[in-house]
Amino acid sequence: MKLIKRHYGWIKDQEVIEYHLVNNQGATFKCLNYGAIVTAILVPDKNKSLENVVLSFDQLSDYLTYPTYFGALIGRVAGRIRKGQWLDHQLTLNEGKHHIHGGEPNFSHLLWETKEITNQADTVGIQFSHRSPAGENGYPGNLVTTVTYFWTNNQTWIMTIEAQTDERTLFNPTNHTYFNLSGETKRTIETHQLQISSEVYAEIDDEKCPTGRLLAVKDTAYDFTQPTSLQKALKKNPKGYDTPFKLQEGKVVLTEQESGRKLEIETTRESVVVFSTTGMEEDYLVNGKKMCSHLGLALEMQELPDAVHHRQFQSIILEPDKPHSSQTSYHFSV
């Protein structure tokens, strides 16, 4: 296992570093100290060809210009909070009349403090830390967040998140990586199969805010309890997915038959938000090609969005005497 540091660019007078975590088979996990962004995950296909299986830009200026959140850490709170309201706190409104992804700037816009972890035989890692001051984007409490990305010898990315506050506040972060297991985006996600250990999904309204209703997936376009072709699912649901699923066992599996690649996700979080990039016909380049609809699939592990307005959702309130601790693992195989 080895860790390589490379200069990636500058933000004013601060250097942006790309970290390459390389295992003994050459499989490589790349990330930045800016936004804790995952810039590439190179893993083998069934023919042992190493290719990138996430959406990423080629240069720092694109990450600064386009609000895609490719690979970024999102927080303090992922997703939308209706009207930016929590008790008597007014959060910043950065999506019309709603608050989204922690406001601006959020975790994805930060240069994080980093620490290299290289003292383990089968694992190498980067630890990111940040102190968010009370009042930032309207949130109470000084919040200290530590996020660690580990990369292992068996092609597993392990993400741990820890946080503590000195005042009651909200905390519901996620990582916003978009996956495409075909490798180098040779094909769209329509060639993939998706399985989610979920029997209910959270209904959302026309503004993409949860209504509070948890609906059964059975016999709907939201049923991924068995491996399901995304091509067929998207035909049933042509508007695409930006959908929270409440997890039963904390498991999600994504496969792509032609490459032979398989991604197994296990998490301690309550839910996964599935975003299918439907309709994202854009002018910018991703992995060297024009961004198009269904080029990637975001699988965002978090608690259900807008939980502060729905008592039946798991609480995202963080108390001073109860620190947050969670873990998600992404295992790649063929």
Domain count, the chain: 1
pLDDT for 78 beyond 90:
yes
Please give the residue range of the domain that contains residue 78: 2-325
Phi first, then psi: give them for residue 282, nearest 5 degrees.
Answer: -120, 165
Tell me which residue of 275, 314, 318, 265 sits closest to 100, measured CA to CA: 275
- pTM for this entry: 0.97
* Structural domain contains residue 230: yes
* Structural domain contains residue 332: no
Query: In this predicted structure, what is the pLDDT of residue 120?
Result: 87
Q: Using pLDDT thresholds of 50, 70 and 90, give the confidence band for residue 121.
A: confident
Q: Using pLDDT thresholds of 50, 70 and 90, give the confidence band for residue 5.
A: very high
Summary mean pLDDT of the chain: 97
- List of residues 6+ apart from 23 with CB closer than 8 A: 1, 124, 151, 152, 153, 155
Query: In this predicted structure, what is the pLDDT of residue 275?
Result: 98
For 209-242, write each residue's pLDDT tens digit: 999 999 999 999 999 999 999 999 999 999 999 9
Report the relative pairing of strands 261-267 and 251-256 from DSSP bridges: antiparallel
CATH code where residue 240 lies: 2.70.98.10
Tell me which residue of 272, 268, 264 sits closest to 301, measured CA to CA: 272
In angstroms, the first-to-last Cα distance of the chain is 21
Q: Using pLDDT thresholds of 50, 70 and 90, give the confidence band for residue 102.
A: very high
Q: Coil, strand, or helix at residue 120?
A: coil
For 263-293, write each residue's pLDDT tens digit: 999 999 999 999 999 999 999 999 999 999 9
* Structural domain contains residue 23: yes
Tell me which residue of 109, 112, 118, 135 sits closest to 23, measured CA to CA: 118
- Return the residue matching tokens 């060809």: 49
Report the relative pairing of strands 80-81 and 85-86 from DSSP bridges: unpaired
**Region 306-332 average pLDDT:** 97
* Structural domain contains residue 189: yes
Query: In this predicted structure, what is the pLDDT of residue 56?
Result: 97
* Structural domain contains residue 292: yes
For 18-47, write each residue's pLDDT tens digit: 999 999 999 999 999 999 999 999 999 999
Q: Which residues are catalytic?
A: 176, 300
**Region 152-173 average pLDDT:** 98
* Structural domain contains residue 319: yes
Measured CA angle at 137 (ends 327, 76), to 5 deg: 5
* Structural domain contains residue 331: no
